[in-house]
Amino acid sequence: MLKFGIFPKNLDFTKGVKKYIPLKVALSIAGIYSFLGVCWIVFSDRLLAMWAREKEVYVFLSSIKGVVYVTLSALVIFFMVYFALRALNEVNEIVKKNYLELEQTNKRLAESEDFSKAIINKMINAYALHRIILDENGNPCDYEFIDVNPSFEQFTGISKEEIIGKRYKEEVESRAEENTDWVGIYGKVALTGEPVSFESYTSAFDKWVTVNAYSPKKYYFITVFSDITELKKSEAEIREKHEELTALYEELTASEEELRQQFEELIYQQNLLKISEERFRLSAEGSNDMIWDIDLENGEQYFSDRWYELLGHDISGTENLFGKWLSLIHPEEYQYVMNLFEQHLQGKSDYLKCECRMLCKNGSYKWFLIRGKALFDEKGKVVRIAGSFTDINDRKEHENQLKENAYHDSLTGLPNRLALYEEFEKQISAYPQKPVAMFFIDSDNFKLINDTMGHSIGDLLIKKMGEKLASLLEDRHGSVYRLGGDEFVLIAEYDDIDEVCRYAQEIRSSFNLPLDIDDNTLCITVSISIAVYPTNGNNIEELIRNADIALYKAKESGKNCYVLFSDDMHEKVKERMLIEKHLRNAIDNKELHVYYQPQLDVKSGAISGFEALLRWNNSELGFVSPLKFIGVAEETRLINPIGKWVLREACSFLRKMHETQNSNISIAVNISIFQLLQEDFVDFAYCNRPCSPVSGAGDYRINSDGFV
């Protein structure tokens, strides 16, 4: 709001303060002091010369005279300073009093201004303060908006932030061509100060208004206008009704019989209308839905009593929600609903049907199913639309819960694989060129913890891992997902590959710290694989497949590390898969062979034992090195049946050696740690059952090299 000064023009801040001329006061003090000093010197010397004839007396009295002079000078200066300071204190008190009066005046003026602002903001009429803009010839060419009240915003549909500082031709006249010379009218008011009051139609807002304009200060003007559109419509309707009644009167006077027939027909139609209204009222009251009806020709709207019940409003209250029900639609569905309304009103759909949320009185939103159908006249113009609202809030909540369960992991609450697929595809569709890194995170010893400490501890560990990964995203833009078991995926945006490596190292380091879980301190490590979009894949399937390949490489490299996917990993994975495929049938196809390498006694030179060596000769792959297939066998747990077969073959060979030759010969067999973890390994090796394939063999020992 424009301020034109809050202080009175003739306000005297020094009222009551005695004014002094510094030079005059200083000269007065100096003159008085000089006069007294000269008089003292002249007369004291004369008196001293008369009284003191002797030199000693003269010197003594001269000293006394000097002391007296200094004392009198000090007294004179004391009184001069004293009276000057007292005068200064009086001035300060007067100024302080005037300042307090000024503060009170400012406070009253501020309260008056706030009161004026409150009145303007509470006005039902639209208010606006403008500044006229002149061209180079001094003629009005435009005007600027300085301030508006809430009624102005409601009237125009333009917010205060959008209009302040904008010009009329820029913000308003551009909307539609105006027939009224608003700039000329307001320019005259701003320059001459003569107020105006008139009625006019503004095509920019499609409304009739009464305008009152006056100028509080040159080049400024205030407009207060009221919406009289409905009044104008009412006047037009009254004129139209008057013309109709006049014509009807002429017709009635022309034919009394026709009047009687029309009257009887009117009574009949009224009875039918009454019956129809009663039927409609009973249907609306008995229905669980809310019935609505909008007359698009006159703007009348009807909503049944269920409207108030469904939205939590008091039907007996004074609130009138008619006319603003569209504003209660949730912002996220508003445009969607409006588009469906527009399509139906244009005849592009047979009926209206949509679901949306609407604002209740308590501030919450409730889901409704909106149904409706429009009525068109013979020219194809829509004249009425009616329908119903159905409360579907319970169904929507159930659907949302099902969706939540479908897209989130029940143990950790994190998004699951399905959510990862959908959200990632949406992200790369919206930002196809934006690089994204996928971190595949897998615990190195989860199965061991799960087997030894129980599934409850395992579940708590999984939750702890999810929480830790989520905490690492607090300062980054990304998401974490649980795919299942101890596998997690973390999606994050990045600028360069060095940042990806640093982040992977941060993830790995965070899991090197001990975890406190249910009074247990667990130490775990994680293996991390990384695939980046779009370098390592153009879709989620490719990225997950390549990240899984890189994870295998991380496990193979000793675990507790991270590996970036590279294209050459494909060939290694293909080779591994091929080895696994043929290895599964190697025993049945008799492709495995055990060779026995003799071990000699150094002293005697005789054979003291053998070491069993497993070799594999495949018809397609040829001879496969144990360095390649033993690791695959351990990962796939094929080492267990293969290990049993090797031990059975070795024991059979040893039995034959004992039967035909030296019974002191021993044989060494390589045993995998996974075989030792088998519950039946001891029973199998030590042949406690008569049907054991190694019955009759000698003693068995396991040394530090993993030999039996």
- Would you say the pTM of this structure is higher than 0.75? no
DSSP 149-176: -HHHHHHHS--HHHHTT-BHHHHTTTTS
The predicted-structure confidence for 172-216, as pLDDT tens digits, reads as follows: 776 656 677 888 888 888 888 899 888 888 877 788 888 899 888
> Same domain, yes or no, for 674 and 544?
no
Q: Which residue has the tokens 């399509």?
A: 343
Last residue of a domain, one of 231, 248, 271: 231
**Helix, strand, or coil here: 635?**
helix
The reply to whether 279 falls in a domain is no
pLDDT surpassing 80 at residue 321: no
| Per-residue pLDDT band at 2 (split at 50, 70, 90) | very low
> Same domain, yes or no, for 87 and 130?
no
CA 667 from centre of chain: 70
421-424 — which CB contacts under 8 Å span 24+ positions?
A: 421/540, 423/479, 424/491, 424/540, 424/543
Q: Which residue has the higher pLDDT, 376 or 301?
A: 376
When divided into structural domains, the chain yields a total of 5
Sequence-separated (6 or more) residues with CB below 8 Å from residue 104: none
**Helix, strand, or coil here: 658?**
helix
Distance CA 209, CA 127 (A): 12
Q: H helices within 483-583, ranges in order?
A: 497-510, 540-556, 569-583
Phi-psi region of 537 (alpha: psi -120 to 50; beta: other; left: phi over 0): left
Nearest to 527 by CA among 579, 494, 564, 483: 564
> Same domain, yes or no, for 666 and 680?
yes
The reply to whether 15 falls in a domain is no
The reply to whether 275 falls in a domain is no
- Count of beta carbons in the 10 Å neighbourhood of residue 366: 21
The reply to whether 254 falls in a domain is no
**Helix, strand, or coil here: 490?**
strand
Last residue of a domain, one of 567, 598, 630: 567
Continuous segment of H or E residues that includes residue 426 = helix 417-430
> Same domain, yes or no, for 216 and 304?
no
> Same domain, yes or no, for 82 and 115?
yes
Please tell me which of 18-22, 252-256, 477-481, 695-699 the model is most confident about, judged by mean pLDDT: 477-481
DSSP 560: S
Q: Which residue has the tokens 């150094």?
A: 602
CA 529 from centre of chain: 30
The reply to whether 514 falls in a domain is yes
Continuous segment of H or E residues that includes residue 204 = none
CATH code, domain with 552: 3.30.70.270
- The CA–CA distances, whole Å, from 188 to 211, 215, 280, 336, 582 equal 14, 10, 58, 47, 99
Distance CA 477, CA 494 (A): 9
Could you tell me the residue range of the domain that residue 165 belongs to? 123-231
> Same domain, yes or no, for 58 and 156?
no
Sequence-separated (6 or more) residues with CB below 8 Å from residue 474: none
- The CA–CA distances, whole Å, from 330 to 60, 210, 355 equal 108, 35, 11
Average pLDDT on 294-304 reads: 82
> Same domain, yes or no, for 682 and 584?
yes
pLDDT surpassing 50 at residue 298: yes
Distance CA 156, CA 162 (A): 11
The reply to whether 224 falls in a domain is yes
> Same domain, yes or no, for 455 and 506?
yes
Q: Which residue has the higher pLDDT, 502 or 327?
A: 502
Sign for the CA dihedral angle at 167, 171, 174, 178 comes to: negative
pLDDT surpassing 60 at residue 286: no
The reply to whether 412 falls in a domain is no
pLDDT surpassing 50 at residue 426: yes
Average pLDDT in the chain? 80
Distance CA 668, CA 595 (A): 12
The predicted-structure confidence for 341-363, as pLDDT tens digits, reads as follows: 899 988 899 989 999 999 988 88
Q: What percent of the chain has pLDDT over 70?
A: 81
> Same domain, yes or no, for 533 and 597?
no
Sequence-separated (6 or more) residues with CB below 8 Å from residue 64: none
Distance CA 246, CA 368 (A): 48
The residues that are catalytic are 486
CATH code, domain with 158: 3.30.450.20
> Same domain, yes or no, for 560 and 590?
no
The reply to whether 359 falls in a domain is yes
For residue 432, what are its two tokens? 């196809």
Q: Is the peptide bond before 690 cis (omega within 30 degrees of 0)?
A: no
* pLDDT at position 593: 94
- The CA–CA distances, whole Å, from 600 to 160, 315, 359, 585, 651 equal 101, 105, 92, 35, 19
Buried b (16+ CB within 10 A) or exposed e, 212-222: ebbbeeeebbb
Continuous segment of H or E residues that includes residue 452 = helix 446-453
Average pLDDT on 462-473 reads: 92
Q: Is 94 exposed, middle or buried (0-12, 13-18, 19+ CB in 10 A)?
A: middle
The predicted-structure confidence for 649-697, as pLDDT tens digits, reads as follows: 998 888 888 887 766 788 899 888 888 888 778 777 765 333 334 444 4
Last residue of a domain, one of 84, 119, 154: 119
> Same domain, yes or no, for 159 and 180?
yes
* pLDDT at position 176: 58
> Same domain, yes or no, for 96 and 153?
no
For residue 689, what are its two tokens? 């059952």
Single-letter amino acid code for the residue at 686: Y
Sequence-separated (6 or more) residues with CB below 8 Å from residue 390: 288, 289, 290, 368, 369, 371
58-72, 467-481, 591-605: least confidently modelled range = 58-72
